[in-house]
A and B are shown apart, each in its own frame.
Chain A
């Protein structure tokens, strides 16, 4: 994925996190893509909403049972990296 696509994808994920958190995290804070979303206040319901949003928006199946390491969910950078791999694998 080229840099332009990566940036666009990060913006889409950033928006999904904002929606998933019900607006409790401001968009400025979410602009730091390497910040741990848990420290910004994304709670368990927020994560549930985020996973639903990611699955539907990017047409991927996120099966956490098969993921040993869940750190891919902790930052927007990591989510985008994970999605890129998933979508690449599905292609």
Chain B
């Protein structure tokens, strides 16, 4: 029996959900899986994981796209008494190795095709799981630099602003609270069928779709392949999807000319967007065309879900705080009355960063509020974001430290100065704009856009590679050497319009 395996808050909640909803459909990939079948598969996989990884609290990294096998192995890892670490499915050796050395990884759950190509020392023979998934045992080369807290049941990663993804530790209580508060705050029921297009390693999908679905008795659906609007709309119709969990670009593609017929989405009750701010005109057009407001969910990796708009007639802001969430604003500057840094206290807070001790704690005040770095205001009880207090660049929900990019580029021969700042492409997607000053004089090796781009591609994670590279003769700076980004933007715009 599944109940005879390892216990903890998540396992207890899941056991209750599996028992209460027996006979109903739980997960749908290419085939439906009932709660009963899901429980059986989890139990069998937990036994196999115990055989493969003897001992307690072994670290199992998930580097896999959404699919039913992900759900089975995630819960199986918990029931086997091990610790799941949910990595970005796009992580490769360059990101996996630092995580392994910091946090320890005893196995990786990956696509079978990826297992063969991963160049990591101590790689064992992959064990097939389902049609295309493999569990890849990894022999520990050395003890990890950091140990997880005893209460930690799940680890997720922020994109990391310093070259090493930060490993967030969550207690079982925090994970269960996030799921229960999401159900309560958004009115999720057993009749809900959620099509989850955001990666399960991401806080949005993890908190809105995974455990919450099974506690409510609903269904979670996965779509294989690229999330184009045509197959997404087809799945919504065919499966009677009631909740769509996606990202801004998908909603923009829905409202672009030639998008799916409005009648195809008529069964949808909630459309949820996260990862990056949704463009107001896209939200408006989606409402106009499909008769449904897109909830611009606001959550923070470190705190879990924060707000949700339940009132369909309210069209601005990011909604009201969810149950178990308190939001305050830190005293604002006199220049912006009513605005301030968003401080959040939730029941689903992380416990800390496993591999960056002290950094999380430094951002939590004496009353337990996390200082988000976002600037906002509260109106009608709803949160409205107005910017960031820090210099990080948010590209598709991943925070990037511009100094890391500048450090790579500044090390190149022929570069005299460089700065990176947030910008947008022609589709209004956020990107990193890198501005370079080439060194003058003899000995300069002729730095070009191509050499800079190649250096970034070879030394940075793919999402940190600048989307735009410009050259100027000088970067305007203040008296203390800080780049004057507004002036630089104006210069570049003038240059662009004259070109």
Report which A residues bind B (CB closer than 8 A): 19-24, 41, 43-45, 47-49, 51-52, 55-56, 61-65
Contact A24 B431 (CB under 8 A): yes
Q: How far is the CA of A59 from the CA of B225 in the complex (A)?
A: 19
Q: How far is the CA of A43 from the CA of B257 in the complex (A)?
A: 22
Q: How far is the CB of B469 from chain A (nearest CB, A)?
A: 10
Contact B431 A65 (CB under 8 A): no
Contact A24 B226 (CB under 8 A): no
Task: List the B side residues contacting A19 at CB < 8 Å.
Answer: 426-427
Contact B467 A24 (CB under 8 A): yes
Contact B431 A22 (CB under 8 A): yes
Question: Among the listed B226, B230, B258, B428, which residue makes an inter-chain contact with A61, where contact means beta carbons less than 8 Å apart?
Answer: B230
Q: How far is the CB of A68 from chain B (nearest CB, A)?
A: 11
Question: Among the listed B228, B231, B258, B468, which residue makes an inter-chain contact with A48, where contact means beta carbons less than 8 Å apart?
Answer: B228
Contact A52 B229 (CB under 8 A): yes
With A45-B249, A48-B249, A49-B253 as given contacts, are A55 and B431 in contact (CB-CB < 8 Å)? no
Contact B427 A22 (CB under 8 A): yes
Q: How far is the CB of B397 from chain A (nearest CB, A)?
A: 12
B425, CB-defined interface residue at 8 Å = yes
Sampled A-B contacts (23; CB under 8 Å)? A19-B427, A21-B425, A22-B424, A22-B425, A22-B427, A22-B428, A22-B467, A23-B425, A23-B426, A24-B431, A24-B468, A41-B453, A43-B463, A45-B429, A47-B226, A49-B249, A52-B228, A52-B253, A55-B230, A56-B256, A62-B228, A64-B225, A65-B224
Give the residue name and chain of the B residue nearest to A61 (CB).
B230
Number of A-B contacts (CB under 8 A): 56
Q: How far is the CB of B495 from chain A (nearest CB, A)?
A: 15
Give the interface residue-count category, chain B.
20 to 34
Task: List the A side residues contacting B257 at CB < 8 Å.
Answer: 56
Q: How far is the CA of A49 from the CA of B427 in the complex (A)?
A: 10
Q: How far is the CB of A64 from chain B (nearest CB, A)?
A: 5
Q: How far is the CA of A22 from the CA of B225 in the complex (A)?
A: 23
B184, CB-defined interface residue at 8 Å = no
Q: Would you call the interface of chain A mostly helix, strand, loop, or mixed? A: helix
Question: Among the listed B229, B230, B396, B465, which residue makes an inter-chain contact with A45, where contact means beta carbons less than 8 Å apart?
Answer: B396
B267, CB-defined interface residue at 8 Å = no
Given contact pairs A43-B463, A47-B226, A51-B228, enumerate 9 new A-B contacts (beta carbons under 8 Å): A19-B426, A19-B427, A22-B429, A23-B426, A43-B462, A45-B429, A51-B226, A63-B231, A65-B224
Give the residue name and chain of the A residue nearest to B465 (CB).
A41
Q: How far is the CA of A51 from the CA of B229 in the complex (A)?
A: 10
Q: How far is the CB of B147 from chain A (nearest CB, A)?
A: 34
Give the residue name and chain of the A residue nearest to B257 (CB).
A56
Contact A22 B426 (CB under 8 A): yes
Task: List the B side residues contacting A24 at CB < 8 Å.
Answer: 425, 431, 467-468
Q: How far is the CA of A19 from the CA of B396 in the complex (A)?
A: 18
Contact B396 A64 (CB under 8 A): no
Contact B228 A55 (CB under 8 A): yes
Task: List the A side residues contacting B453 at CB < 8 Å.
Answer: 41
